[in-house]
Chains A and B, each alone.
Chain A
Amino acid sequence: MLNYIWFGLILISLVVGAFTGNLEAVTNAAIEYAATAVTIALGLIGIMAFWLGIMKIAEKGGIIKLLSKAIKPMAKILFPNIPSDHPAIGTMLMNIVANWLGLGNAATPLGLKAMDNLQELNPKKDTATNAMVVFLALNTASITIIPMTVIAIRQELGSANPFEIISTAVLASTCACISAVIAAKLLQRTPWAKKSDPNRKDIAEKSEVKND
């Protein structure tokens, strides 16, 4: 799917750019954004290293396992294919909580660590597992408790009550999150998604389907 979207975005840009005379701007944007991507990625090094270091201690100290056990019932529903004492559950929980608290700087490194743990269980390393897609759904449509960035902008631009959008944002983001997870769960049953499932043999077994 990303193949089509990526192709579509670039094709539309070139065609529309040619018609509107923006072609030079389009080319410049390509060069500029390629550089931006590297800046963003390299900017992650320090914070990544810090959190990966802390997480290693947490892992060896048994905290991650403890967290995994604590949310066993919830994890079984969301991630039926992951053993309930696997560290992936604990790191995913930490990422999700960090997201909800608006700790963006911690959430990304924790999320990437969780992806790393999920990848350990993946028999086909270049293809996303169902668990990864559900986890991504929880991240791309994360529940927001306090949308700090936009509140700051509202404050700056003279809102009488910059915080008044919290209730609407919490409600809307909760709807988004629940529907993204449900969508991930429903889409994984389509023949198209099943065909590329790295764990497809397990899923084909009837006993597994019943346990779902």
Chain B
Amino acid sequence: MIDSLTVATEAVVQTATVIQESGFVTFMKAFSNLAIPFILFVTLILGFAKKIKVYEVFIEGAKDGFDVAVRIIPYLVAILVAIGMFRASGAMDYIVKLLSPLTNLIGMPAETLPVALMRPLSGSGSLGIVTELINEHGADSFIGRLASTMFGSTETTFYVLAVYFGAVGIKNSRHAVAAGLIGDFVGLLAAVFFCRIVFL
């Protein structure tokens, strides 16, 4: 049992080194940069080959852009106002104090708890906290690396929910919030787990 755990840990650490040294980043960046030109090229060539009036069809589709953006407004106002008020009230400090005994249990530095709590609520807010932590503790400290991993590993759940459901006018989101928050929570635990393996 312990043997297999050691082997697994070893494998994760080795994969991490391979990913960092193999030029994977350069490859992925190049791939990302080419993805959009590639999509445009294929779409237009195929459309043209099928004798589609590409310009007219483009206009027809693009017309909806304004409507979608406007439809999102009430949803985004509702979510962002609540989150803005919450941030301004200073309630986060109390929640951090309340939860900090738990962070020690999972080997998570209490300093990174605000990142975890803010991440699903606000992208700019949590990025601000990450920047502060890196400034204070250094980018290559354990806290700096963990905070970076936490930020990099999930999305701003409430923003995504507001925009996606808002765009089609869905008011009852059913279990979407719960599923999203479970994802965030597992992501947070996994960030702590993998950072401890790779960086400690």
List A residues at the B interface (Cβ < 8 Å). Answer: 1-2, 5-6, 9-10, 12-14, 16-17, 20, 22, 25-26, 28-30, 32-34, 36-38, 40-42, 44-50, 52-63, 94, 97-98, 101-103, 106, 108, 111-112, 115-116, 118-119, 125-128, 132-133, 136-137, 139-142, 144-147, 149-151, 153-154, 157-173, 175-177, 179-181, 183-184, 187-188, 190, 192-193, 196-197
Contact = CB atoms under 8 A, between A and B. Distances in A.
B66 A111 contact: no
Interface of B: 12, 15-16, 19-20, 24-25, 28-29, 31-32, 35-36, 39-40, 42-44, 46-47, 49-50, 52, 54, 57-66, 68-70, 72-73, 76-91, 94, 120, 127, 130-131, 134-135, 138-140, 144-145, 148-155, 157, 160-161, 163-165, 167-180, 182-184, 186-191, 193-195, 198-199
A16 B190 CA distance: 32
Contacts, number: 390
A36 to B, nearest CB: 6
Nearest to A57: B47
Top 8 A-B pairs, shortest CB-CB distance: A180-B183, A56-B61, A49-B65, A147-B152, A176-B187, A141-B183, A33-B84, A159-B139
A128 B172 contact: yes
Contacts of B178: 1, 183, 187
A158 B195 CA distance: 20
A158 B139 contact: yes
A61 B50 contact: yes
Contacts of B179: 133, 136-137, 140, 180-181, 183-184, 187
Given A165-B148, A168-B145, A13 B58 contact: no
Contacts of B58: 53-54, 56-57
Given A49-B62, A147-B151, A62 B50 contact: yes
Given A20-B90, A157-B134, 11 more contacts: A2-B161, A33-B83, A37-B73, A47-B65, A48-B69, A55-B61, A57-B57, A150-B127, A161-B140, A163-B25, A172-B190
